[in-house]
Amino acid sequence: MNIFTFTAHFDSEQSCRAHFKEARDKNGVECKNCGHNEHFWIKSRWSYECKACRSRTSLRSGTIMQGSNLPFLVWYKT
């Protein structure tokens, strides 16, 4: 993928978040509280909720983006 295709494909915060979520879903999300691997997706909060203990995990948690307030679009463009 060249820079022009990349920029066209990831042109908004929403498209970057959706792509990142897709990658997280593929790799799986483990609950930090109980270790369970099944979650609900809460779109309004952009976070996962554990089906076992109801603990929430943000989309960024456990990634290089954890603790960052930069938009996904900035992360994707850098």
Question: What ranges do the domains of the chain cover?
Answer: 27-78
DSSP-derived 3-state class of residue 56: strand
**In this predicted model, what pLDDT tens digit does every residue of 18-70 receive, in sequence order?**
999 999 999 999 999 999 999 999 999 999 999 999 999 999 999 999 999 99
Predicted confidence band of residue 4 (pLDDT cuts 50, 70, 90):
low
DSSP-derived 3-state class of residue 50: strand
- Predicted local distance difference test score (pLDDT) of residue 22: 95
**In this predicted model, what pLDDT tens digit does every residue of 27-36 receive, in sequence order?**
999 999 999 9
The torsion region of residue 21 among left (phi > 0), alpha (psi -120 to 50) and beta comes to: alpha
- Predicted local distance difference test score (pLDDT) of residue 34: 96
